[in-house]
Every structure is written in C-alpha cells, then in structure tokens.
Amino acid sequence: MSKITTLSEFIIERQADFPYASGDLSRLLSDIGIASKIVNQQVNKAGLGDILGAQGSTNVQGEDQQKLDVYADETFIRAFRNGGMVCGIGSEENDKYVAFEKPLCKKGKYVVLFDPLDGSSNIDVNVSIGTIFSIFRRTSSVGDRADVNDFLQKGVKQVAAGYVIYGSSTMLVYTTGYGVNGFTLEPSIGEYCLSHPNMKIPEDGQVYSINEGHLNSMGEGVKAYVDYCKASDAKSNRPYSARYIGSLVADFHRNLIKGGIYIYPATKKAPEGKLRLLYECSPLAFIVEQAGGKASDGYRRIMEIQPSELHQRVPYFIGSTNMVEKAEAFMRKFEPVEA
C-alpha cells in the first residue's frame, strides 16, 4: 500500500523550506486544517440539521447570512484566537478587522484574511462551497495590537494562501510559495491526505466560466472575449465549453485541474467587480501563479494591487495563462484603460 502523507506530516516536512521557521506557520496551517474539518462536519449535514438556510441577518456586503456562514466564521475565528499564532483577522462576514486582545495573540506574528464560506447561497441546493484564506506576516510590532496596515498588504506579501472545497470530497489546497499541494479528507481516519502533489494548471484549457446572464451589463472587451470563446476554430479547440457553478472555489478548483478561465468582470451593477481582493482574489492568485497560471483585473497582476480597504472589490480574470492573456488582449483592444 502506498505511503499516506497526512497534512500534518507534510507541513512539518515542508517546514524545512523556511530555514528560520519557528514552527508558528506550521501550527497555523494545522489549525486551519482542524477548523475546516469542524466546518465540514456541519456542511456535510446541512440538509438535515437546523443549520440550513438564512440566519436572518445580513453581512457587511449586505448579503443574507446563511447560518453556516456565521458558524464557519465563528469556527475559524475561535481557532485563530485560541491558536496564538495570529494577532488579528479580516473576514468577509465582519465589517472591520478583528484585533485579538489576548496577550498571547498580541505576540502572534501573522494575520489571516478569509472568506469562511464562499458561495454560501449554494448551501441550500447542495452545490460545492468553499473557504478561502490568505496569511500575511504582521507589519506592526509583535506584542502590540494589530492595526489596519497589517491587513492592507499586496498579494506578493502573502506567506501562505489556500482554500477548502466542500464538494463530492473535501479537499484542502494551499501554497507557501513553494508549489501547490492538494489534500483530500479521508473521513474514516479524519485526516487530510496528500492526493494532488505539486499541482500545475494547464497553460491552455477549453472551459470558460462567467455569468453570461450579466453579459449585457459587461464591457465590450469581455463581450468580445466571450464571442471569441463561442466561435468555432478546430485549431484552438473552440468553441469552448461554458461551465459556471456560481461558486468561485468550485469553478477555480476545476479550472486548476483541467485548465480554464474564470471571469468576474466589472458590470453596471458592480463597477469594481463583485469579488473581494484580500480574501478571495489575492489568495487564489497566489495559488494559480504557483501552479503556473495567471490572475489579473484584466490589466494589472492581482498580486501587485495595493489594497486601500478591507472589503475592496476588483474585476477578476484567473486561470490558464494563455486564456487569461487572450482575455487581457481583448480588454486592451476593446476596453483600453485611460492612460
């Protein structure tokens, strides 16, 4: 029987990637793994318990909070607060960042930004959903209270990023800047086991993911690119197939494995795009670049964008390098940015 490598074993083995590693990042990644298993337990039975459905409140985005959203948010915050590695968090479900007050936490070297349950509107219809996380080293002094600048960092400053997809199986995929590795939860032993070592996204694909229902409210560059995807051309394997799950983590994960592009551009209703830079776009951009792909706002590399506020939104083009570059060419041609 081939050797199983658990997430914990892998994290410890890879700690050697960081010569001065104290083990704090390793412990933080393990804490995330444990918290996700707790969330997974509730996600898996969402149809049975009373945890299904709307919480009756709305989050800072004005979106109806599903009970599982709130449960997941509280579960991860508890894990970060108790773990002592983290001095503060930013979450989709919380208006402001949370600076932990415990003296132990103030000594934490990291901040975490996360979307506890992305795609949660799909919970009631049993479609895959996900958690996305991004880890930065704090810029404020260890021992002090976290401040806003700890969170408003460019994607290139991330020390780790990852996601959990609660789907037909539960997987945790993450990077620390030394490649991308995927772990599948083995329920019989309750452990994440290495199932997708050294993940690489194909440089081309045949799938485009975009909500074509909004196409009339999108710009000319995006419309031209979608027309290109639909045009027949055997040489470039077009027309492509349209796949849009309505759950970013699920669409991204499929494209990471099979190749493809996901686009959530600026629309009339969402002129800055819908997705949030710090805890959706930036962490997945880190992963896709580590896997050989590309992520931009149609013009600029996502990882180079300087955030100005916690819930900042950006237009988003992410996936196979050749497909993203093709879409960017249409943006430059049909939606040039004023100099």
The contact set with ligand P6P (CB under 6 A) reads: 118-119, 121, 211, 246-248, 251, 274-275
Residue 277 CB, nearest distance to ligand P6P (Å)? 13
Residue 12 CB, nearest approach to ligand P6P (Å): 32
Q: Report d(CA 94, CA 307) in Å as an integer.
A: 17
The minimum distance between CB 190 and ligand P6P, in angstroms, equals: 27
Long-range pairs for 307-311 at CB < 8 Å and ≥24 separation? 307/151, 307/152, 307/153, 307/154, 307/277, 307/278, 308/152, 309/152, 310/90, 310/96, 310/97, 310/148, 310/151, 310/152, 310/278, 311/60, 311/61, 311/92, 311/276, 311/278
Nearest to 43 by CA among 113, 135, 119, 94: 119
Distance CA 208, CA 229 (A): 7
Q: Which is nearer to ligand P6P, 121 or 140 (CB)?
A: 121
d(CA 181, CA 191): 15
Residue 100 φ then ψ, to 5°: -70, 140
Q: Shortest gap between Cβ of 281 and ligand P6P (angstroms)?
A: 11
State the Cα–Cα distance between residues 145 and 90, nearest whole angstrom.
Answer: 14
Query: In the complex with ligand P6P, which residue's Cβ is closer, 274 or 311?
Result: 274
Q: How far is the CB of 260 from ligand P6P (least distance, A)?
A: 13
| Closer to ligand P6P by Cβ: residue 67 or 274 | 274
Query: Shortest gap between Cβ of 276 and ligand P6P (angstroms)?
Result: 8
| Residue closer to ligand P6P, measured from CB, 25 or 327 | 327
Q: Among residues 22 and 241, whose Cβ is nearest to ligand P6P?
A: 241
Q: Which is nearer to ligand P6P, 70 or 99 (CB)?
A: 70
CB of 231 to ligand P6P, least distance (A): 23
In this structure, the dihedral spanned by the alpha carbons of residues 332, 333, 335 and 336, taken in order and rounded to 10 degrees, is 50
Tokens of 32: 């995330």
First to last CA, the chain: 60
Q: Which is nearer to ligand P6P, 191 or 280 (CB)?
A: 280
d(C-alpha 264, C-alpha 315), whole Å: 6
